[in-house]
Amino acid sequence: MSDSNASQGRAPAIKWQLGRIVDELQEARNEWRSQYGRTRELGSRELPSRVVISEIMESLCSALFPLRLGPSDLRAESENFFVGHVLDRALNALLGQVRLELCYAARQQGISECSVDEPAQRIVQDFALALPDLRRLLDSDVLAAYSGDPAARSVDEVLLCYPGILAVIYHRLAHQLYSSDLPLLARIIAELAHSATGIDIHPGAKIGRSFFIDHGTGVVIGETAIIGERVRIYQAVTLGAKRFPADESGNLQKGHPRHPIVEDDVVIYAGATILGRITIGKGSTIGGNVWLTRSVPAYSNVTQANLQGCSSVDQ
């Protein structure tokens, strides 16, 4: 330590060999790009940004529920101005991310030159026009949470505090993009919600009105799951796949229906695992920690105790 550093109590500067590390990281990147055919000249960012999408989602949430999820100083008299302003900013940012995904998808298909402006604008316009109906759909989810939880004192508490509601808001928006053939953007949104809540809903899952996830931690809902109206599920529930078929080369086959169908008015209690393309009939109740791989008819009451003697289910 030099006298000046010692007198001021400073530690000596550390030489991290940054030049060598930067060069070796470049070498590693080039090896990967060469191996997977990514040797074209790279320009600006070619993939959507998780950071930008997170900011877009916060803006969209505040536009959907401005006096609850918007800024603390917002007043009712300026609500419409705020919604218009924040939507304009969010939709323009979304347009940029949609362009990136469309260009990325074109490159993956071997299309070197593509014009994405027109389809990107159409997708974002359709997304924007769907927001009022999405708000009404989310209102049904908030009311379902309030009605289904005796601990909830108000719909405002539900909207502000419940992780299940946050996950469902993100899912409704992600599913809209997924339905517009933007799987990467939709999946990023789903994973933002997953990180924040512990609830993992694939954006491809189709979920009806008045959906309520109580507590929520550890819930998993797969890509091809179909959930009806007024369904309630609890923490650690899995709606998953039983098996993953492969093609002749051993690669997993993608896109096949492989997750459960849950009909209207079903309740699924904590820890239940429901696997495969089976149907849970309308009005059924699935008890806690049940392992279910076969369909059950409407108005069934499935518990661990009755699984042994039930021919329609197995463990």
The answer to whether 264 and 299 have CB atoms below 8 angstroms apart is no
In order of their start, the domains of the chain are 48-199 (1.10.3130.10), 218-245+254-315 (2.160.10.10)
Residue of 282 and 36 predicted with greater confidence: 282
Best-predicted range by mean pLDDT among 7-16, 82-91, 254-263, 301-310? Answer: 82-91
Amino acid at 275: L
The answer to whether 315 and 272 have CB atoms below 8 angstroms apart is no
DSSP 8-state secondary structure symbol assigned to residue 78: G
CA distance from start to end of the chain: 68
Residue 6 has pLDDT above 70, yes or no: no
Residue 2 has pLDDT above 80, yes or no: no
Those residues whose C-beta lies under 8 Å from the C-beta of residue 303, and which sit 6 or more positions away, are 287, 290
Q: How confident is the model at residue 112 (pLDDT cuts 50, 70, 90)?
A: low
Rounded Cα–Cα distance for residues 140 and 176 (Å): 17
Q: Write out the H or E segment, with its range, that includes residue 279.
A: strand 279-280
What pLDDT is recorded for position 45? Answer: 73
Rounded Cα–Cα distance for residues 53 and 157 (Å): 26
The answer to whether 54 and 61 have CB atoms below 8 angstroms apart is no
Q: CA nearest 207: which of 236, 243, 164?
A: 164
Residue 73 has pLDDT above 60, yes or no: yes
Rounded Cα–Cα distance for residues 155 and 140 (Å): 11
Q: CA nearest 40: which of 107, 115, 116, 102?
A: 107
Supply 270's token pair: 């904590």
Token pair 């953007």 is found at: 185
**Which 3 state secondary structure label does DSSP give 217?**
coil
Least confident of 126-130, 252-256, 284-288: 252-256
What pLDDT is recorded for position 115? Answer: 83
Q: How confident is the model at residue 94 (pLDDT cuts 50, 70, 90)?
A: very high
